[in-house]
Chains A and B, each alone.
Chain A
Amino acid sequence: MSALGRVVSSGVGRRRWLQTLVIGLVAAMAVATSVLGGALLISSRAPFDTAFADQNGAHLAVLLNAKKVAAQQAAATANATGVAAAAGPFPVGTVGVRGTEAGTLTIDLKVVGRADPGGAVDRVSLTDGRWATGPNEIVVSNAGIIVSVGETLTAGETTLTVVGKARSMSDTADAWTDPATLAALTTTSEYQMLYRFEAAATATEMTANQTAVEKALPADTVIAARSWLEVRREAVEAAAVFVPFLVAFGVLALAMSLLIVANVVTGSVASAVRRIGILKALGFTPGEVVRAYVGQALLPAAAGAGAGVIVGNLLAVPLLGRIQVVYGTPKLAVSWWVDVVVVVFVLGLVAVTGWLAALRAGRLRTVDALAVGRTSSGGRGRWAARLVGRLPVPRPVGIGLARPFARPIRAVLLLAAIAFGTAAVTFSVGIGTSLVRVQAAGEHNIADVVVQPPRPTRGGPSGPADAGPQADPAKVLAAISAQPGTEAAYGVRQQPMRMTGAANAVNVSATLGDAQWNRYEMVTGGWYGAPGEATAASGLLRATGKKVGDTITLTGSGGTATLTIVGEVFESGEAVWADVASVGAAMGDTGSTSGVRPTNGERGQTEDSFRYYIAITDASDVLDYIAPLNSDLETLGLEAFRNPRTTEPIITALIGLATLVATLLAAAAALGVLNTMMLDLRDRVHDLGVMKAVGMSPGQTVTSVIASVVGVGLLGGAAGVPIGMAVHSLTLPSMAGTAGTSLPSFITDVYLPAVLTALVFGGLVVALLGALIPSGWAARVRTATALRTE
């Protein structure tokens, strides 16, 4: 082995194992967090378009009247002008299903009979289980009801087994069965035809495409048609709020981990100045010294990077599995090139920082380098030692408190490591909290009980509009309010309406009673109270340029309503809320079917029917509440259900992500502290020996070492918290702006005084954790050995 190789191997060998381990671990954590961050960033880039292309998504989904067009005629439209590929006809039916648990809501599912998920168009991706091939088997869409593979659903007398979960980027169905099962469940009077076209990028092209398909069919056979551009808009809109947060997590993970790596490597090389002096005295050139130290840093970093890639990918798999729910995509994975780029970048950073630090040490005069650690420190920090000597604290504490001032550059490195770690944790806590609040606020769904007309569960399309006259909403609400255990309740009727100045139909909610308690968070202004007032979603105001105070005109089948916007609700969709007295007449008796979906929490409501949301008192049990209420409601033709409110898996995933990133970065920061402390203690091991020789006990040694990081830890925490908060406050609004929404203060103001205090002390905890091993080492080091050490 060459002299240089020998120096490198001894530099990473047994006597410097801790430093080697720290560099390796920090590199591993940096790579793992960067892989996670990179995966988040990459997956955030046009997730819909990528998945849509992968599935050969349908540019146009057409619903045909099966009574007016034969299957062969429908299939022949594959030859229409501009059609590149087609799939179908598939039978379609609406099936009312409910879970087996008591009090469960009945939900209408649009079920498509499809023998297999593949084909030329809309290759449905199975995300769990298998395709439904046997009788009474069903595959549900990930975007539909929350149910797991293996569970059963009841559709009238039939029990359906969920055998798979799948995702169609074209949003062609809520569930799929084989055609025979669907025929047994309901009367299918519609066909679904799916098309891809040679040109489908613009609305004009899509209009031409739809016209070409309609021309190839008998007249009046198309019931509905849905362009992929509309599906895309809805999907992007739904994910838009989350993307910025996930991007921010990715950037944070990348930036912080790289800062910490640079810190550790710089500290490691800077501490080896005396060894460098010895090498130079032996005849090493400055260039050889630099190469040796870059090699010493790179060897463990490369090993750590390898481990980090494995850990990062393992962590990314479940994380991306959850994130894909947000993006509405079937599958996300870490691209191989993310691994390569991250490893190259981290190792490059290690090499550059190691090179810069070694270059400085290599240029030192040999005699000066040799004198490091053996000569007086030049008086640095003596004033501090003198000052703390007067403090009424035990001497070991005073010695420790003064220590950072004796090696200010090292103390700054230590402080930087703690500040980075604290900033990372602060930002992670803040953005995690904000994200959870965004998710919760977007749901508008904290009701315990829902009241709606009961659904027929067999025999064709269901819906209360067909079930008979509706009960007087005021009487229903009075009955609900009179029910013991009712804390709050309101009724709501939803309908898509045209709004002057809006390109798309607007989802309008006409409410009876105060609805704001159902988690409608205001960005500006207030909830409507008087006739003629309305509250609008952020997404609508962004899309139309309207603002609080402006007037809007809504047109429905019953006429028009002119309303004044008095408040902006945190909601990325295009929606308006107003009292039924203000907008009910304009809604009329029958609604249009423009394809606009209700807002998330009230999804599934049949148009033109009132649904009632109820919050019950804390002392009440939901099922005990429902039973007597149903007795009262039976005569009104309504039924109460437990609101199927569950914790979204994505919330769990995102809290997990925030915790994971914060933990990794805090651990890396603690390793940075450990590294710096070990270097410092090794430098002054002789002084430690002297103090032990004159009577310093192991306990006092530990106290002294711990005390030496207390000040730096608190200062680093105090510096890191505002940095993290600043990054949070800078990131959130700009990211939210990209998502086309504004953020109410309850989403941005997440740092309570107690949280801030805990975070500042978190810096101290990071410092103490990092100092724990070094202090133990200092306490154990043999006095006689330490005294012999120069």
Chain B
Amino acid sequence: MSEAVIELHEVTRQYDEGPPALRKLTLTVNRGDSVAILGPSGSGKSTLLNLIAGLDRPTSGTVTVAGAEVHTLGEAAAARYRRSHIGMVFQFFNLLDDLTVLDNVLLPAQLAGVRGGEARSRAARLLTTLGIDRHSGAYPGRLSGGERQRVAVARALINQPALLLADEPTGALDTASGIEVQNLLKELHAGGQTILMVTHDMALAEACATRTIHLVDGQVSADTLTDSRS
């Protein structure tokens, strides 16, 4: 039986006004899975991602990731949890403009207190693996969209997280760069990385995900197993 990495049990997230963003959502993601969360705007995709990343707390229900009860964590504990368990990739990369590519990648390791030599070694490996080592001294503003997203992925992986979360990872990219990132995610998954991505991009979902979950009005409307490795 596969080991569960993400377990959500009857999770509800209610904001101040309007209907709940998530309604009694129960979900399990196993280690090694690559899951795509699909759905229209306002369906609760980003809320789900924020809850799993420990950026937000559920109104009710429990969120457990890699054994950590995320719904109970305070701000400081949530930060430590993200450092050790989570890597995040954003639609607009969210790289820090005034840091070089290498410094951007090193940042989570440095915040986690990883020794300097070890952190630089991991960063160099990742940059080489992702094919952007020649840009290590450059600033993000000089890179293409695809290259920036590769840097963001490298940053997400520097602390060897149990789970990679990706929020519309190809949403801000042109077609060629989108395919580039798509292939990268496929490679990572093939290497055993557990991935959960939120996307509107059906092609990305079909290419990278072993499982697709459709959310509508904060509830799972469809949960389908696919085989992207074929």
Contact of A700 among B98, B103, B111 (CB under 8 A): B111
Chain A neighbourhood of B53, CB < 8 A:
693
Interface presence of B79 (CB below 8 A): yes
CB-CB nearest in chain A for B84: A695
CA distance A396 to B159 in the complex (A): 17
CB-CB nearest in chain B for A398: B110
Chain A neighbourhood of B159, CB < 8 A:
695
- B82 close to A694 (CB less than 8 A): yes
Known: A389-B103, A694-B88, A694-B107. A784 touches B83 (CB 8 A): no
CB-CB nearest in chain B for A788: B46
Shortest Cβ distance from residue A88 to the other chain B in the assembled complex, whole angstroms:
82
Interface presence of A381 (CB below 8 A): yes
Interface membership of chain B positions 71-86, coded 1 if the CB is closer than 8 angstroms to chain A and 0 otherwise = 0000110011011000
Tell me the A672-698 residues at the B interface (CB within 8 Å).
686-687, 689-698
Known: A385-B99, A694-B88, A698-B79. A379 touches B111 (CB 8 A): no
Chain A neighbourhood of B98, CB < 8 A:
377, 380-382, 385, 402, 406
CA distance A389 to B108 in the complex (A): 14
Interface membership of chain A positions 364-388, coded 1 if the CB is closer than 8 angstroms to chain B and 0 otherwise = 0000000000001101111001100
CB-CB nearest in chain A for B75: A698
Interface presence of B155 (CB below 8 A): yes
Tell me the B86-135 residues at the A interface (CB within 8 Å).
88, 90, 94-100, 103, 107-108, 110-112
Chain A neighbourhood of B99, CB < 8 A:
385, 389
Interface presence of B30 (CB below 8 A): no
CA distance A783 to B76 in the complex (A): 12
CB-CB nearest in chain B for A382: B98
Interface presence of A712 (CB below 8 A): no
Shortest Cβ distance from residue B166 to the other chain A in the assembled complex, whole angstroms:
13
- B55 close to A693 (CB less than 8 A): yes
CA distance A648 to B94 in the complex (A): 65
Chain A neighbourhood of B83, CB < 8 A:
694-695
- A690 close to B96 (CB less than 8 A): yes
Interface presence of B50 (CB below 8 A): yes
Interface membership of chain A positions 749-790, coded 1 if the CB is closer than 8 angstroms to chain B and 0 otherwise = 000000000000000000000000000000110111001000
- A697 close to B103 (CB less than 8 A): no
- B79 close to A695 (CB less than 8 A): yes
Known: A377-B97, A395-B111, A402-B98. A787 touches B90 (CB 8 A): yes
- A700 close to B75 (CB less than 8 A): no
Shortest Cβ distance from residue B91 to the other chain A in the assembled complex, whole angstroms:
10
Shortest Cβ distance from residue A451 to the other chain B in the assembled complex, whole angstroms:
72
- B107 close to A376 (CB less than 8 A): no
CA distance A377 to B139 in the complex (A): 11
Chain A neighbourhood of B95, CB < 8 A:
690
Residue among A379, A395, A693, A699 with the most chain B CB within 10 A?
A: A693
Chain A neighbourhood of B96, CB < 8 A:
687, 690-691
- B88 close to A385 (CB less than 8 A): no
CA distance A386 to B99 in the complex (A): 8
CA distance A687 to B98 in the complex (A): 10
Chain B neighbourhood of A386, CB < 8 A:
100, 103
Shortest Cβ distance from residue A95 to the other chain B in the assembled complex, whole angstroms:
77
- A376 close to B111 (CB less than 8 A): no
Tell me the B14-53 residues at the A interface (CB within 8 Å).
50, 53
Known: A395-B111, A695-B79, A695-B112. A690 touches B94 (CB 8 A): yes
- B50 close to A395 (CB less than 8 A): no
Chain A neighbourhood of B75, CB < 8 A:
697-698, 779-780
Shortest Cβ distance from residue B61 to the other chain A in the assembled complex, whole angstroms:
17
Interface membership of chain A positions 392-425, coded 1 if the CB is closer than 8 angstroms to chain B and 0 otherwise = 0011100000100010000000000000000000
Chain B neighbourhood of A395, CB < 8 A:
107, 110-111
Bin the interface of chain B by size. Answer: 20 to 34
- B100 close to A695 (CB less than 8 A): no
Contact of A691 among B80, B107, B112 (CB under 8 A): B107
- B79 close to A784 (CB less than 8 A): no
- A696 close to B76 (CB less than 8 A): no
Chain A neighbourhood of B82, CB < 8 A:
693-695
CA distance A691 to B155 in the complex (A): 11
Residue among A692, A694, A698 with the most chain B CB within 10 A?
A: A694
- B55 close to A694 (CB less than 8 A): no
Chain A neighbourhood of B141, CB < 8 A:
376
Chain A neighbourhood of B97, CB < 8 A:
376-377
- B103 close to A396 (CB less than 8 A): no
Chain A neighbourhood of B201, CB < 8 A:
none
Chain B neighbourhood of A686, CB < 8 A:
94
CB-CB nearest in chain B for A783: B55
- A700 close to B107 (CB less than 8 A): no
Interface membership of chain A positions 427-442, coded 1 if the CB is closer than 8 angstroms to chain B and 0 otherwise = 0000000000000000
- B111 close to A784 (CB less than 8 A): no
CA distance A164 to B83 in the complex (A): 76
CA distance A188 to B171 in the complex (A): 107
Interface presence of B223 (CB below 8 A): no
Chain A neighbourhood of B107, CB < 8 A:
395, 691, 694
CA distance A169 to B219 in the complex (A): 90
Known: A377-B98, A381-B98, A784-B50. A695 touches B111 (CB 8 A): yes
Chain B neighbourhood of A700, CB < 8 A:
79, 111
Shortest Cβ distance from residue A400 to the other chain B in the assembled complex, whole angstroms:
13
Residue among A394, A695, A696, A698 with the most chain B CB within 10 A?
A: A695
- A692 close to B79 (CB less than 8 A): yes
Shortest Cβ distance from residue A129 to the other chain B in the assembled complex, whole angstroms:
63
Interface presence of B10 (CB below 8 A): no
CB-CB nearest in chain A for B102: A389
Shortest Cβ distance from residue B54 to the other chain A in the assembled complex, whole angstroms:
9
Chain B neighbourhood of A694, CB < 8 A:
82-83, 88, 107-108, 111, 155-156
Known: A381-B98, A700-B79. A784 touches B55 (CB 8 A): yes
CA distance A698 to B90 in the complex (A): 21
Chain A neighbourhood of B156, CB < 8 A:
694
CA distance A691 to B97 in the complex (A): 12
Shortest Cβ distance from residue A459 to the other chain B in the assembled complex, whole angstroms:
86
CA distance A780 to B75 in the complex (A): 8
Contact of A699 among B76, B100, B112 (CB under 8 A): B76
CA distance A694 to B159 in the complex (A): 10
CA distance A380 to B98 in the complex (A): 8
Interface presence of B56 (CB below 8 A): yes
CA distance A693 to B81 in the complex (A): 10
CA distance A142 to B131 in the complex (A): 89
Contact of B76 among A396, A689, A691, A698 (CB under 8 A): A698
Chain A neighbourhood of B56, CB < 8 A:
782, 784
CA distance A406 to B96 in the complex (A): 12
- A782 close to B55 (CB less than 8 A): yes
Residue among A377, A381, A784 with the most chain B CB within 10 A?
A: A784
- A695 close to B80 (CB less than 8 A): yes
Top 10 nearest A-B pairs by Cβ distance? A695-B83, A395-B110, A697-B79, A376-B141, A784-B55, A694-B108, A690-B94, A783-B55, A376-B97, A697-B76
Extra contacts, 14 of them, besides A382-B100, A386-B103, A395-B107 (Cβ < 8 A), are: A380-B98, A385-B99, A389-B99, A396-B111, A691-B111, A693-B55, A693-B94, A694-B83, A694-B155, A697-B80, A698-B76, A784-B50, A784-B55, A784-B56
Instruction: Pull 25 A–B residue pairs with CB atoms less than 8 Å apart, ordered by A.
Output: A376-B97, A376-B141, A379-B139, A385-B99, A385-B103, A386-B103, A394-B110, A402-B98, A690-B94, A690-B95, A693-B94, A694-B111, A695-B80, A695-B108, A695-B112, A696-B79, A697-B76, A697-B80, A697-B111, A698-B76, A700-B79, A700-B111, A783-B55, A784-B56, A787-B90
